Each structure stands twice: as structure tokens, then as C-alpha cells.
Amino acid sequence: MPNLENLIRLNDNYHMNTYARLPVTFVKGKGTRLWDDTGKEYIDFLSGIGVANAGHCHPAVVEAIKNQVESLMHVSNLYYTQPQLELAKKLVEISFGDKCFFSNSGAEANEAAIKLARRYAKAKGKDNAYEIITALRSFHGRTMKTLAATGQPDKQKPFEPMPPGFKHVPLNDIDALENEINEKTCAVMLEPIQGEGGVYPCDEAYLKQVRALCDKHGILLILDEVQTGMGRTGHMFAYEGYGITPDVMTLAKGLGSGLPIGVLIASDKASVFNPGEHGSTFGGGPVACAGALATIKVIEQEGLVENSREVGAYFAQKLEDLKTNTGKINEVRGRGLMLAIELAKDNAKNIVLALLKEGIVANNIGGNILRFLPPLCITEEDIDIAVSILARLLVQE
């Protein structure tokens, strides 16, 4: 098996310099645990950036994928396949939505949502309504359109000029949002909790006001639940915790247990695509859909949404205690098992590397934010171990 030094050399020689990788090679995953090429065991508090919601390599998901691979892997969307339509039916049954469109990723699902919003406006006779309002600090993907939708100027600057059609406003400021709505607006797109931006939740009152504004102006409310969906926040979908329903929702990360899949879900009102107006060669393939359907069943049958809510509350309290006891934390944010701490010092990367040496996988956002997205089967015992190690490291820093 190639050792870490050889892999780093291969990466430097043959892979584009797009990822600031950490010095570890993972070779096995099971539930909440990962193992590297030396056999060292880690507790995973990142789950592949919110992907392994059902835990790594769940036997039911693996079996579903193996069975599908042995029968049919691809035929294109020119034909019907049972796994795709069973998954669409399941997603409609458990959400507000009426219709699904499958893609390969969250960025593609958001790209589809952007096109759908413009198509919806034209279907309503608003030919000049093409602008979408999103929030500052948001993150909607790395394609050019979704990057333009992303409210982080530092991510856009190397690729300017951005495609037109997006405005960005401060999150949780309803006046700022209302002031930007005009005859060119076709939709508002928000993450219920901004993930990559630093785990900043929408206020409940704010999201209800946004819903009302969209209804008042006849524009769509798109919720990007790529990171918050599939049980991550203590609800199957984060919007359920806010007492509203969107017109359009996008999902990806936690949907397929690691298989590349994204989905755009819309109400009947918003489902205005006609044949040929949008599509995907690989999106909604039989293998990805079989894995996603099995993932949803595991989340339901093993009570992982409830575990996310209950163990997430335990984790948040432990982090609040850590804040009080160490004085090294400015703020604890998030819901369910989507949590972050804002450190008092810009030492988040050092903490992440130190945690890795101690067998804990976590993530830093910028210089002073630690993000935790563990598999939804994480236990209080796992959290006690991680918080104990984190407390020691924070005191040492």
C-alpha cells in the first residue's frame, strides 16, 4: 500500500493544486470511525463534509449499491429506471415537494434551481425578472453561476467578472432584503444555516418574513439544503424546524452516503421545466439512486434524525460548557449535529491538526472557526472523548 509520502509526491506531481489536504490517508470507514493506512483509528466529526450522515459504509447501503451494480449501472435519462423513480417518490413523500430533478452534486442542483427560478418568471409573463437575491457569507457551489450566487467576494475575485443576476444582502436583515426586491427579482435563495460560511443560522422570524415577502411579490423561495438536509439539523430537512415551506429545495451531501447525487425538489407550482430545457447525463443514475434510497431508509429506521436532535443538543451544551470553562471560545453556533465554535484566537488550523494527531477528525473555516459535522449515529460517549481532547488542546494553545 502506498505510504503517505508517496501519495503526497503523486499529488504534487499529478493533481491540480486545488485542495489544502491534511497529512493523513484514510483507507477504511465504519459508522463513526475512520482508519488510516497505519491502522490508526479516528472518530469522525466531519463525515466527509456532512456526507456520511448514515455512517460510513452502512451494510444496508453497501448491499443496495452492490445489488444495483450487479444488475444495471447506466442507461441515460432517455429511459425509465426503477431506482430513480422510487427515490423521487420517497423524497416527495417525506418533503413539501411534488416533483424532483436529479443531478450529480449540490452545485448542479443549485444551478438547476437558478434556471428553474428564471423559467418560472418567464412562465408568469415576467420576461425581465432574472435576478436572485442571496445572503452575504452564503455558499452555493463552485460553478460560475453558483459562485456568482455565493455571497463571499474573496471566492469570486480570482474569477471575475461574475455572471450577472445576483444580489447579496446581510443575513437576518429583512429590511435589507425587501429593499433589493424589484421587478427584476425572480427568487430569493438562502441556506437555513450557512455551512461553509461559518455555520450561521437564519433566525426563525426572519425566514418566516422572507416566506411572506416571496408570496407578496410572487417570487420563489429557494432553500439550499445541500448541507442542512437529510437529518443534519435535527429535522429531516431544516425548513421543518422553521415552520415554513419553500417553493424549491436542493439536497446533495447527506443524500447518497458518498455517492455523487444531488436533487432539486419543487412544488407543483414551481415545476415549470419542459422537456429539453434541462437535463443530465449521469444525474439520477440507478446506482446513486439505489444508494440514496437505502440511505433514507437507514436514517428513518435507525432514528438518526432524532439522534441528531438529541445528541446534537448534548454536544452543543458540552461546547457551551467548554466556552465557559476555558474562555477560549467566543460563540457556539448551529443546530442538531451541524455545530461550530468561534475561537477567540486565529488558531483553528493548528487545533484541527492537533485534533487529527489525537484521532479526532474536524474542520476549520478560516482562521478562527471549528466546524463539526459528525455522522448522525455519533454517541454522547464519542462526544465526551472529543470535547475532553479539545479542552486540553485549547488550554495548551
Residues designated as active site: 139, 224, 253
Compute the chain's Rg from CA coordinates: 21
Q: Is 272 exposed, middle or buried (0-12, 13-18, 19+ CB in 10 A)?
A: middle
Distances (CA, A) of 40 to 24, 25, 35, 36, 115: 10, 10, 5, 6, 46
Grid cell in block for residue 21 = 489536504
Interatomic CA distance for residues 54 and 363, integer angstroms: 19
Choose among 324, 396, 325, 318: nearest CA to 355.
Answer: 396
Angle in degrees, CA 378, 250, 279, rounded to 5: 130
Distances (CA, A) of 381 to 165, 249, 360, 371: 48, 34, 13, 19
What letter does residue 57 receive in the DSSP assignment? T
**Is residue 318 within 8 Å of 212, Cβ to Cβ?**
no
Choose among 155, 286, 267, 283: nearest CA to 222.
Answer: 267
Grid cell in block for residue 333 = 453556533
Mapped onto helix, strand or coil, the DSSP state of residue 5 is: helix
Grid cell in block for residue 168 = 447579496
Interatomic CA distance for residues 375 and 369, integer angstroms: 20
Strands 99-103, 262-266: pairing is: antiparallel
Interatomic CA distance for residues 102 and 112, integer angstroms: 9
| Residue 51, CA atoms < 13 Å, CB-side half-sphere | 16
**Is residue 108 within 8 Å of 119, Cβ to Cβ?**
no
